[in-house]
Chains A and B, each alone.
Chain A
Amino acid sequence: DTGVSQNPRHKITKRGQNVTFRCDPISEHNRLYWYRQTLGQGPEFLTYFQNEAQLEKSRLLSDRFSAERPKGSFSTLEIQRTEQGDSAMYLCASSLEVPDTQYFGPGTRLTVL
C-alpha cells in the first residue's frame, strides 16, 4: 500500500510565474485535502474534495489559487501570478469517508524569488 505522493518535492520560481503541483492519494481514498504550512506554523487547510467534487474551500484560497480533481483520483493545485508570500510547504492528504483519518504526503516546498 503506497502512501500519498506529491510532485515536485521542491519548486523554485520567480514572482509572477504560474506553478502547478500534483498529488496522488492512497488508492481507493475518495477524500483529498490540500493544506499550506509556513515556517514555524502548523498546516492550514486550503480545500477538500470528495471524489471529483470540491466541497469546501478556505478563505486562504485566493482567486489566484485553483484546485482540481477531474477524475476523482489525483489532484492538481495551481497558483497563478505567484507572490513571495506564497512561499510555503504545500501538503496533500487523503482519507476514506469512514474512518475519516487523514494521511499526509511528503509535501511540495515552494520558494518564490
Chain B
Amino acid sequence: AQSVTQPDIHITVSEGASLELRCNYSYGATPYLFWYVQSPGQGLQLLLKYFSGDTLVQGIKGFEAEFKRSQSSFNLRKPSVHWSDAAEYFCAVGASRDTGRRALTFGSGTRLQVQP
C-alpha cells in the first residue's frame, strides 16, 4: 500500500529565509507526486507535480521540488519565503498509469508559519 510521511508537523521561518518541507513516500512502482497548499478553511491548491522526466520540477508561487528515487523523497523548496506563504502544505502520491487506482494518498501535512 502506498503511504506518505511528512516528518515536520509545524515549521516556523522568518520572512525572506529559505524553506524546505520534507516528504517521503512508499510506493512499489514509479509514483506520481504532488504538493498542494491549503489556507485555513479552504480547499487545496496545486503547487506542482511530478509525473516523469526532469526530477526538478517548478511550480507556482516560486516553489520547486526535487524527486529523489533513491531516497523515496519529494521535498518542496522555496528560496525566499513571503508572509503570504503561511499555510498548510500537503504532499501526495498517486498511482502511475500502469495501475488501476486513481486515489491520491496524502501526508498529514506541515503547517508553515512565517515570522516578520
Contact = CB atoms under 8 A, between A and B. Distances in A.
Given A91-B44, A99-B51, A104-B36, A55 B103 contact: no
A93 B104 CA distance: 11
A42 interface: yes
Q: Chain B contact residues (Cβ within 8 angstroms of A): what range?
A: 20 to 34
B107 interface: yes
A43 B43 CA distance: 10
A42 B107 contact: yes
B42 A40 contact: no
Interface string A73-99: 000000000000000000101000001
Contacts of B97: 100
B103 A33 contact: yes
A28 interface: no
Interface of B: 4, 32, 34, 36, 41-46, 49, 51, 90, 92, 94, 97, 101-109
